[in-house]
Chains A and B, each alone.
Chain A
Amino acid sequence: GAVVSQHPSRVICKSGTSVKIECRSLDFQATTMFWYRQFPKQSLMLMATSNEGSKATYEQGVEKDKFLINHASLTLSTLTVTSAHPEDSSFYICSARDFSAGELFFGEGSRLTVL
């Protein structure tokens, strides 16, 4: 079964609205979670590293005010795409590391379509 749950799996929204995506680790505590974006036929691109109880670390070129990340607990991180535009349409994937096992587990991904 899934050890990282991501929700929603699909979301369609109007341009200008905000969308929140949740990422939960189910069987372990994740002090660090990662958020990625993947455009069609392209590789995963790391957007930000989310650390529990502290501010996220954003990769170069990722707008922190547009992609708000909150990691309030050891099992939940959220990504909010604010004022979404059609160019934000993409596949967003989270991952969480089970520190004890050293392995990285992925959520099922969220496909965002902005009309």
Chain B
Amino acid sequence: RKEVEQDPGPFNVPEGATVAFNCTYSNSASQSFFWYRQDCRKEPKLLMSVYSSGNEDGRFTAQLNRASQYISLLIRDSKLSDSATYLCVVNTWGDDKIIFGKGTRLHILP
């Protein structure tokens, strides 16, 4: 099993729809989880951290399921500007490893 796995997509979603994708991780000792957004030919930018209790930031909701070892990102009322690649990042403090998923490509269709 890969350390961090994401569905590469692409997810083609009409504007205004709700879209969700998951990211699974294999190391149960993982401590910190993040979602990053990467636009074409640009560096990744932090979208949101993922907290154990789940957290929401505007149209974006992130959740962590430790029992099943996955994190999720939900985007409501999607906008054209949401089109990007979404990377999940998992950090294991013990060996200080930061593992990236390969990213999920999202295309919001007008």
Contact B49 A43 (CB under 8 A): no
User: Which residues in A have their C-beta under 8 angstroms from that of B98?
Assistant: 34, 46, 95, 104
Q: Is the interface of B mostly helix, strand, loop or mixed?
A: strand
Chain A proximity of B24: nearest CB distance (Å)? 15
A64-82 contacts to B, CB under 8 A, are: none
How far apart are the CA atoms of A50 and B23 in the complex, in Å?
27
Q: Total interface residues on B, using CB and 8 Å? A: 20
Q: What is the chain B residue whose CB lies nearest that of A110?
A: B43
Contact B103 A43 (CB under 8 A): yes
Q: A49-B96, A91-B41 are in contact. Are A43 and B89 (CB under 8 A)?
A: no
Taking Cβ atoms with an 8 Å cutoff, the residues of B that contact A are 32, 34, 36, 41-46, 49, 87, 89, 91, 96, 98-103
